Structure 1
Amino acid sequence: MAELADENQSARDHAAGGTERDLEGATVSDLNRVLVLAGGMSPEHEVSLRSGRRVVESLRRLGVEAQTADADSVLLDTLAADPPQVVFPVLHGASGEDGAIRETLDLVGVPYVGAPPQSCRMAFAKPTAKSLVAARGIAVPRGVALPRTVFSDLGAKALLERVIATLGLPLFVKPDQGGSAFGATAVDDAAALSSALVSCFAYSSTALIEQRVSGTEISVGVLDLGDGPFALPAVEIVPDGGVYDYAARYTAGKTEFFCPARLPEDVAAAAAHAAITAHQALGLRDVSRTDLIVDRDGRVCFLEANVAPGMTETSTLPLAVEAAGLDFAVVCRDLAHQALLRA
């Protein structure tokens, strides 16, 4: 773990000092037009717009012409009529993170920041992501993924009883896809499980029911600015009231963040290792955020990975970028530059 920490520090130092370097004959000065995709049709629409505004303002601060566009019926016409050098997607939720938009950008031939479509699909499907990350030796909560139809086909009462008998209590119920804690509910007793599933099924046809791990909730961002992925400092999340729901995530003052997280050095290194492992196991690219929980024994447990991390003033990735001694605007520019080089 010490070697991993040293490697991460070296990567951060290189990233901080090498943003103006010449890469394959092209420099960041060649980047001058970026289109930021924000909004979308998911419940995370408003969060996406806030993320988009911050990325645009950051790029403009460095002299990059940046505009926003939504993923709507005129997007393809916009890309055809005035193609940008690079698209920077900050669309959250379905279509923004399930690979559909990136598949479309590949069809159009416009380079973009972030993971390719197939990797987005794997990360967006939480049960699939858990399986792939667990296969790399990272701990995951024990759980089951059950579609809504199975409860009517097999009988809800008997199935709920079997879930509790197998997984025990407390539990955590969340949609198998999506983010921002929509449809996610902590379950402390058997009577609450049924209503938690009703809430979950409002956002997805399949529920992921997991053993609830008690401990310290953290998120770890991963960047790759051209020299391989490195982990940013872990962000410890302490929501007011104990539940990191939508309001706690996006209302200033509702959650207290500690960055770097208040973790022993070996646990922090294990968290960095878990985030980089998830990034690589899912085939992610450029930027990702992994949500983890550290249990009372110091074991790091994978919860989920995000291919389009929030970029708002209360989002954890920008906090981690600042804690690493990096300039958020420069990071945004360099991520866009990486996409330009791939073209």
Structure 2
Amino acid sequence: MKVLVLAGGLSPERNVSLSSGAMVCQALRERGHQVALMDLFYGLDGALSGENLYVAPIPESFKRVAREAPDLEEVKARRGGGPSAIGPGVFEMCAGAEVVFLALHGACGEDGRIQAALDLLGVPYTGSGCLGSAIAMDKDLTKRLVANQVKTPRWETVTVTRETLEELVERTRLPVVVKPIASGSSIGVYIAKSKGELKKALEESVKLGGRTVIEEYIKGREIQVAVLGGRALPSIEIIPREGFYDYANKYQPGAATEVCPSRIPKEWEKAVGDAALAVFHTIGLSVYARADFIVTQEGVPYFLEINTLPGMTPTSLVPQEAAAVGMDYGKLCETIIQISMEARKERL
């Protein structure tokens, strides 16, 4: 099969995406597919042209995720000016492939816009459709839609500005989790247990655009569940060696202990699996996703968010959950493509 893997782009999760894309490209090539890896933002700008991209070596630097998120202004400067978030030749390359494997994360990749563009081009792609992707990217809207289906921490969505910051600090009941309304990989996420920590978190929120979810802090175990092809995979428990499961702890080998299947009672496993499926279906997702929960000591799962294009890096969680049911990385990639092709036929 002729597959174009789209990665990179202008999201703060750019480096994670490049790592996902490199691993997917390598795995599918090893299984005999004709595969090209393309950066959504750079496109063919200064790169090998057209069909040569299908035999180009995969940069080793893509496979590792740096400890810090990228400087997007520096990324933009490397391509030069222009307002487009999509590089030259991208859509032409998409149209020439049998399927586009979306290894994108965050804005312009996971928020439904690229899915809508590919729908209009008539090009099949992996993962959920444009509407479900757009909903899932908005943490506030997702919570509003699923709050009567699953338990979720109390939350408030605010626009943080220099003028409103102090008032928010004074009236917010601690402890809370502060997170951008539309971001992933724990970028911009802070746990605030004091007014000083809250103020610092909100100051960072202003830098990220201001639209922010302030969420009740729930103490418990961090359990994540992947959904693949309409069923919940075995859950995985995340135990960071220090702090919480932030950007650095997610992508640096050894920074967190990941236990799969989770060592939890069967009834807890069923509860988180059922909750993941409820969220998945309520917001109209398809193919695969990963839902994040905090499970209290009483075994009550609190839904946090769902990711429609979860990471496929060497330390990512969905491949570990698939392995727990006997599916290796390459087979997982092929399965995602197969289910996606069926979903596109059904316009999901």
Shorter chain as denominator, the TM-score bin is: 0.7 to 0.9
2:262 and 2:323 mapped to 1: Cα distance? Answer: 13
2:40 and 2:120 mapped to 1: Cα distance? Answer: 15
1:204 and 1:125 mapped to 2: Cα distance? Answer: 14
2:38 and 2:192 mapped to 1: Cα distance? Answer: 39
Displacement of 1:277 in angstroms is 0.9
Task: Name which of 167, 178, 181 aligns with 1:176.
Answer: 181
Structure-2 residue corresponding to 1:144: 156
Structure-1 residue corresponding to 2:40: 71
SS in 2 for 1:213: coil
Contact 1:175 1:201 in 2 (8 A): no
Structure-1 residue corresponding to 2:3: 34
1:340 and 1:299 mapped to 2: Cα distance? Answer: 36
Question: Which structure 1 segments of 5+ residues have no match?
Answer: 1-31
- Greater Cα offset, 263-272 or 127-136: 127-136
Displacement of 1:335 in angstroms is 1.9
Structure-1 residue corresponding to 2:197: 192
Structure-1 residue corresponding to 2:19: 50
Normalised by the length of structure 2, the TM-score is 0.83
Contact 1:176 1:204 in 2 (8 A): no
Aligned length: 298
Normalised by the length of structure 1, the TM-score is 0.84
Contact 1:143 1:209 in 2 (8 A): yes
Contact 1:318 1:328 in 2 (8 A): yes
1:131 and 1:339 mapped to 2: Cα distance? Answer: 27
1:161-182 alpha-carbon deviations (Å, 9 max, x no partner) = 2222xxxx21110101111111
Displacement of 1:49 in angstroms is 0.7
1:339 and 1:185 mapped to 2: Cα distance? Answer: 34
Higher helix fraction: Structure 1 or Structure 2?
1
1:147-205 alpha-carbon deviations (Å, 9 max, x no partner) = 124x62xx4433332222xxxx2111010111111111110112221111111232232
1:262 and 1:200 mapped to 2: Cα distance? Answer: 35
RMSD: 1.4
- 2:304 counterpart letter in structure 1: L
Question: Which structure 2 segments of 5+ residues have no match?
Answer: 42-86
SS in 2 for 1:127: helix
2:138 and 2:300 mapped to 1: Cα distance? Answer: 24
1:124 and 1:49 mapped to 2: Cα distance? Answer: 20
Is 1:86 matched with 2:99? yes
Task: Name which of 211, 214, 217 aligns with 2:219.
Answer: 214
Structure-2 residue corresponding to 1:234: 235
2:4 and 2:35 mapped to 1: Cα distance? Answer: 6
1:156 and 1:334 mapped to 2: Cα distance? Answer: 46
2:116 and 2:246 mapped to 1: Cα distance? Answer: 30
- Of structures 1 and 2, the one scoring higher in RCO (CA 8 A, sep 6+) is 1
